[in-house]
Structure 1
Amino acid sequence: MTAVADTGFAPARGGGSRPLAGTGTLLRLGLRRDRVMVPLWVLAIGGTTASAGNTLGKVYETPAQRAGVVDSMVANSSLRSLYGPVFDDSLGGIVAWRYTVFMAAFAAVLSLLVVVRHTREEEETGRQEMLSAAMVGRRAPLTSALLVALVANTALALLVTAGLAGEGAAGALALGLGIGAVGMVFATTAAMVAQFTETARLAKGLTAAALGLAFALRAAGDAASDDGSHVLTWLSPIGWAENLRPFAAERWWVLLLFAAAVVIQGAVAYGLAGRRDIGMSFLAARPGPAEGRLATASGLARRLQRGSLAGWGAGFLLAGLMFGGMADGAADLVGDNERTRQMLERMGGQSGITDAFLAAMVGMLGMVAAMYIVQSVLRLHGEETSQRAEPVLAAAVGRVRWAAGHLLVAFGGAALIMLLGGLGLALGHGGNVGPVLGASLVQVAAVWLLGAVAVAVYGIVPRAAGLAWAYAGLSLALGWVGAALNLPDAALKVSPFEHLPKLPGDDMVWGPVAVLVALAAVFTAAGLAGLRRRDILT
């Protein structure tokens, strides 16, 4: 019981035979553990959406400009596949059009991370078995995880509603509920998937794949229909959020679809959780060959990370194809709106709307690739804290050699997925492949720097590994909304991506690229030096 006390967990009162015994205590523990991550995500998603009325009000100042957006979406299927249809030309309707799809997707990501962290990850590390030795019911861990997700999504819905209430209380409430409801659907999806997998990594990957499928179905449906009525749109929870129609004669009955999905998936998750032992899963990993085939630490790293790399690569190729197909329609979206033109040129350069759009999309792919490299680098932290690194390091394998295998996959994989994203972008656009591929590879310098920061944080202060995610998330946020918010250049340049030339279109400048690569080398070396000198976590 001493080990249990060290976690800050106090045994629940009551009999352990009660299925929900200890739920309140686990909920408090979960909220305490997520006291930094959840508020940051909620503020980033909710704050961005809540401030959108002011931002877009400066871009589309007149009813005529907003009506022009509606007309453009009716005629432009490629842009509908990205943002969805516009149901109303009020400022609130424009906000719902621009933000519903992506903010709902971000809410889903937050929810799946929370639920997997407090269910499968707890079991994988052995902490859940330790906690369950106290008076904790069989279904308490799953219930507390879903309650943490509910708290996060409720806070998100309230923030969006309060921020946009001035544009119409009913519309603001519908938008907030839609975004939060998508989060809860994928929270229960993650809870269900976590019962089938043996590892948190696979649970996150499969739930993220379900989210990607939902996004793709919605995109295909919206491309085929300008009013959100296509059957493919209705097969996606993100499409349901669109069809709530915030600020456009709200369809409150759509909330019943969310409720039904949450109840059904939650019931399945609870039923499965009650039929397995802690640490076990319904889809057990296949046993390896009788004789080992992984002769090196780098071979083991490649084996561990190849599935993730394949998934990211396929996703980047498909995203590139989709964004490339939209490039020619960028001019239709901008029209004669000078503010929109300035915002796009600030993101992608001033060499023409099509090149500026391509440069902006290359930059977005680079910022998303930063998520891949941070995740891949921090796999080292997961291997260490789960004590899987100890048997490897107990053999004739040094720490730097062990880490180098994972870093090779992380840094090389980042370059590979950017290459695939650039290839998809060029093929989708139908333009010259060379310039777009070159622009994609230039982004790798900034991606590597963010990965190197993760190496430094992990190697020197491993318990603060979340700081690497914070910096990567800040860079993504600055790239996503910085230009729209008209932030000063000094603020934008906190992100390494802002130091790169805006390609294709602008002139290539090698100086900033060389500096970023050199800094990446310095941070990586510092992290490896720190790893050699510190104790291994247990």
Structure 2
Amino acid sequence: MSAPLAGTAALVRLALRRDRVLAPVWILVVASMVLALPASLESVYQTPAERGTLLATTNASGSLRGLYGPVFGDSVGALTAWKGGVFAAVLAGIMSLVIVVRHTREEEETGRQEMLSAAVVGRRAPLTAALLTALLANGLAAALVTAGLAGHGAAGAAALGLGIGATGTLCAALAAVAAQLTGSARLAKGLTGAAIGAAFVLRAVGDARAPAGASLPTWLSPLGWLEHVRAFAGERWWVLALFATATAALAAAAYALAGRRDLGTGLLPARPGPAHGRLGSAGALARRLQRPALVGWSLAFLAAGLVFGAVAAGATELVGGNDRTRELIERMGNRSGLTDAFLATMAQMLGMVAALYAVAAVLRLAAEETGQRAEPLLAHPVGRLRWAGGHLAAAFGGPALILLAAGLGLGLGQGRAAALGPAVGAALAQLPAVWAIGGLAVLLHGAAPRYTAVAWAVAGAALALGWVGPALHLPDAVLDLSPFAHLPRLPGAAAATAWAPLLALTALAAALTAAGLAALRRRDLVV
């Protein structure tokens, strides 16, 4: 019998080889979300007085504290940690759960781990390799953040970088536990993602209640711990020990659970199905498979819309008399009014995130193929287009539902009945761009299934351009590479010119989808 950790080094090399594109893209996105902020903040808040006004305004507004957290200092570094720290940590957590689940539960689910285990591979080597890969990715992200912000204060840069990396590593250990408990990669990702969402909600509730973030809900959330590191504002290094302790406890639990289950199974028993089948078609099966993710995304977008809608009411107070901030928000939104500009910006951001759902829903087709679940289904009188159609209905109809939920949240969050219609319209106006990216994913799956990761890269690039592009004053030629840049900025005066870009992007999405389905009919199944 091989040692428990035998083969770990080889599995780490394999994981790095497989993640040679995915991991660097995630690392750059996490780091760039933080590193793009100092230049923007320096151009908008040029004097200590202006930064002090921002600090006072934010700490006096419960909705702004709930979204970003409290501000602990008026330096550029402290404002960078306030504006980008929590969101970068959330992205680091998502990166970590993707890496860990990919190299543990997904390997078992597809049968690859069974073949690897036939060689000299120890029982705990796959889990160790996955955690080491995630640790390396988070370490590199932390190093980039530290190096990029060192000019604003070495101690603060190190504290923020370590805090973001520690949050991601904690999420990696949490994903490792979920991978032992569940029998599917989707459920493991869902549980870990729900835990990250709960951590964000706890932090938001705690920060909204207490100006200094000192309430109990904040201390129950790892994202609240990140705030209390207080980078660039009198660093609290001892808070990092909380991350280390929690990560060690979760990793130990994952190792203990790994030794108590059989390969390919989870500790939580699978729920038995009904005695008689209830799914009469391939489309019904697809809807059943896609339903949990759709419900989760819809609830998350409704909650996000409520938060952003509440913040929109205080947008004027946040900007005050700062013309540069007003110009930046209006460049990202529209020039019909500051509140409308803020809502247009938030609607566009939610649309960009919805594109990630569309890509994930389309690529469920790839998961069904590689998991060898599509072949038995297609052996029956079920055509490929009929099989794919059920999943594509969720991929293109699902974003409409989650953006409708977001629009309802944006309207209800403002507390005005008249705001509901324009907010829903602004959210649904993002659909053609979401569909265009989803159509690209269909084309890649149909014509070049080995390169479906390009769809993730395109969705991520669109999100990055929309998030940091206007703040960096990138030229319009670069911003126009994103399909979202061509959409009308609703709500606002742009409504009169809305139809042309909406119809053009919808036609593009239809063409890409049709080409992808045609290619899917001709190629062999992935094995």
* Length-normalised TM-score, structure 2: 0.98
Aligned twin of 2:424:
437
**Equivalent residue runs for 1:435-514 within 5 Å:** 435-508=422-495, 509-514=498-503
| RMSD (Å) for aligned C-alpha atoms | 0.9
Cα distance, 1:47 vs structure 2: 2.9
Mapping for residues 152-301 of structure 1, pairs under 5 Å? 152-301=137-286
Q: Which stretch shows the higher mean deviation, 130-139 or 284-293?
A: 284-293
Q: Is this contact kept in 2: 1:51–1:163, CA < 8 A?
A: no
1:290 deviates by: 2.4
Q: Given that residues 50 and 162 in structure 1 are in contact (C-alpha distance below 8 angstroms), is that contact kept between their aligned partners in structure 2?
A: no
Distance in 1, Cα, partners of 2:494 & 2:74: 39
- Partner amino acid, structure 1, of 2:500: G
Once the 2 structures are TM-superposed, how far is the Cα of residue 430 of structure 1 from its aligned partner?
A: 2.0
Alignment of 1:512-531 (within 5 A): 512-531=501-520
For residues 179 and 361 of structure 2, the distance between their equivalents in structure 1, rounded to whole angstroms, comes to 21
Q: Which residue of 1 aligns with 2:46?
A: 61
Q: Secondary structure at the match of 1:218?
A: helix
Q: Equivalent residue of 1:195, what SS?
A: helix
Counterpart check, 1:91 vs 2:80:
no
After TM superposition, list the pairs within 5 Å mapping 1:320-335 onto structure 2.
320-335=305-320
Counterpart of 2:291 in 1: which secondary structure? Answer: helix
In structure 2, the partner of 1:6 is none
Shift in Å, 1:54:
2.2
Following the alignment from structure 1 to structure 2, what is the Cα–Cα distance between the partners of residues 81 and 48? 19
Give the distance between the partners of 2:59 and 2:367, measured in 1 at CA. Answer: 47
The one-letter code sitting in structure 1 at the alignment partner of 2:147 is: A
After superposition, the C-alpha distances for 1:149-173 in whole angstroms (9 at most, x for unaligned) are: 0000000111000000010000000
The answer on 1:355 being equivalent to 2:340 is yes
Separation (CA, whole Å) in 2 of partners of 1:102 and 1:199? 27
Task: Work out whether residues 367 and 447 of structure 1, in 8 Å CA contact, stay in contact via their aligned partners in 2.
Answer: yes
* DSSP 3-state at the match of 1:518: helix
The match for 2:86 among 101, 119, 140 is 101
State the match for 1:127 in structure 2: 112
Specify the alignment match of 1:424 in structure 2. Answer: 409
Q: Hey, what's the Cα distance between the residues in 2 that align with 1:232 and 1:513?
A: 42
Contact 1:50–1:161 (8 Å) recurs in 2: no
Post-superposition shift, 1:291?
A: 2.1
Q: CA deviation at 1:270?
A: 0.3
1:373 aligns with 2:340: no
Q: Displacement of 1:488 after TM fit?
A: 0.9
- d(CA) in 2 for partners of 1:236, 1:264: 16
- More divergent stretch after superposition (399-408 vs 329-338): 329-338
Q: Which runs of 5+ in 1 are unaligned?
A: 1-15
Given candidates 518, 523, 526, the residue that maps to 1:534 is 523
Partners of 1:221 and 1:47 lie apart in 2 by 27
Task: Determine the C-alpha separation between the residues in 2 that align with 1:321 and 1:244.
Answer: 28
* Deviation at residue 57 of structure 1 after TM alignment: 1.2
Residue 507 of structure 1: how far off its partner (Å) = 2.7
What's the CA shift for 1:75?
1.1
Moved more, 217-226 or 38-47: 38-47
Partner amino acid, structure 2, of 1:525? A
Residue 410 of structure 1 corresponds to which residue in structure 2?
Answer: 395
Q: Provide the rounded CA distance (Å) in 2 between the counterparts of 1:55 and 1:316.
A: 27
Distance (Å, rounded) in 2 between the aligned partners of 1:63 and 1:112: 39
Question: For each residue in 1:90-137, what CA deviation from the matched residue of structure 2 results, as whole angstroms up to 9, or x when unmatched?
Answer: 111111111111000000000000000000000000000110000111
Q: Provide runs of 4+ in structure 1 moved above 3 Å.
A: none
Q: Secondary structure at the match of 1:194?
A: helix
- What is the CA deviation profile of residues 270-300 of structure 1, one whole-angstrom value per residue up to 9, with x for unaligned ones? 0000111110111122122222211111000
8 A Cα contact 1:50 1:164, kept in partner: yes
2:298 alignment partner in structure 1: 313
TM-score (norm: length of structure 1): 0.96
CA distance in 2, matches of 1:32, 1:131: 16
Where 2:230 maps in the other structure, the secondary structure is coil
Percent identity, aligned pairs only, is: 61
SS in 2 for 1:288: coil
CA contact (8 A) 2:36 2:468 kept: no
Return 324-333 or 516-525, whichever deviates more.
Answer: 324-333
Q: How many equivalent pairs are there?
A: 523
For residues 54-92 of structure 1, give each alpha carbon's deviation from its aligned partner in whole angstroms, at most 9, with x where no partner exists.
Answer: 222112111111111111112111011111111010111
Instruction: Measure, in 1, the Cα distance between the counterparts of 2:508 and 2:136.
Output: 40
The code of the aligned residue for 1:484 comes to A
Cα deviation, 1:276-327, whole Å, max 9, x if unaligned, reads 1110111122122222211111000001111111101111111111111111
Structure 2 residue aligned with 1:46: 31
1:383 pairs with 2:368: yes
What letter corresponds to residue 201 of structure 1 in structure 2?
Answer: R
For structure 2, the 5+ residue unaligned runs are: none
